[in-house]
């Protein structure tokens, strides 16, 4: 009966192909076993450990593979860290800018504040916060129509934004649209 490799399941030609066996006689192509041993030192069929002399034969290869894996892992971690740090920096810049925008708003420097906000146009994860600030600043500078425009767009995308509803209500109120103002205020709570 021809023996087959327990790893690749193809027959082993005992005359022309190299193979090794586990302590229980389960045969595997030497080339198949070499790869297998980089994952486990136990026979995939019976789970018994291969003899030391077999493991010894592949030791250099196993170590080389292990080093390669470690190196790849390290590279991957470095790459992930770089992305994380970039994300943190981006966030810090955003928070710093928001701080400046709030200061400018307090000083009634609305135009400068809006200009700073324009720098974030394509920032997707901060989109709603930016829309809110645009609305709020426009309300503060008395551009109620523009405020409503921004805030209405925002609450359509993010219903759970009480401050947006609040300033939307205030903007309607400022325009004398009391029914709409009441409707917005109800959603602010």
Report the alpha-carbon distance of residue 149 to residue 159 in Å, rounded: 15
Q: Does 24 bind Zn ion (CB under 5 A)?
A: yes
Stretch that binds Zn ion, among 45-53, 62-70, 119-127, 181-189 (CB under 5 A): 45-53
Assign 187 to helix, strand or coil: helix
Among 13, 18, 45, 80, binds Zn ion (CB under 5 A): 45
- Residue whose token pair is 């925002």: 154
Whether 54 contacts 29, CB under 8 Å: no
Site for Zn ion in 46-65 (CB under 5 A): 46
Q: Which is nearer to Zn ion, 24 or 70 (CB)?
A: 24
Alpha helices in 12-161 (DSSP H): 30-37, 52-106, 110-118, 127-140, 144-157
Q: 101 burial class (0-12, 13-18, 19+ CB within 10 angstroms)?
A: buried
Size of the site for Zn ion (CB under 5 A): 11
Q: Does 5 bind Zn ion (CB under 5 A)?
A: yes
Stretch that binds Zn ion, among 31-39, 74-82, 90-98, 113-121 (CB under 5 A): 31-39
Q: Which is nearer to Zn ion, 13 or 78 (CB)?
A: 13
Q: Does 43 bind Zn ion (CB under 5 A)?
A: yes
């Amino acid at each position: 009966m021809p023996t087959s490799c327990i790893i690749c399941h193809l027959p082993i030609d005992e005359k022309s192909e190299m193979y090794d066996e586990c302590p229980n006689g389960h045969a595997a192509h030497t080339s198949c076993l070499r790869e297998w041993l980089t994952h486990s030192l136990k026979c995939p069929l019976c789970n018994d450990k291969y003899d030391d002399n077999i493991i010894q034969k592949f030791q250099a290869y196993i170590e080389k593979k292990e080093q390669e894996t470690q190196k790849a892992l390290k590279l991957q971690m470095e790459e992930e860290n770089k992305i994380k740090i970039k994300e943190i920096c981006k966030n810090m810049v955003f928070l710093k800018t928001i701080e400046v925008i709030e200061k400018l708003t307090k000083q009634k420097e609305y135009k400068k504040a809006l200009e700073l906000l324009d720098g974030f146009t394509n920032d997707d994860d901060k989109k709603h916060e930016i829309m809110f600030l645009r609305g709020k600043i426009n309300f503060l500078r008395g551009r109620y129509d523009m405020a409503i425009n921004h805030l209405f767009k925002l609450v359509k995308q993010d219903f759970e934004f009480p401050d947006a509803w609040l300033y939307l209500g205030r903007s309607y109120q400022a325009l004398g649209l009391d029914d709409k103002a009441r409707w917005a205020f109800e959603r602010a709570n």
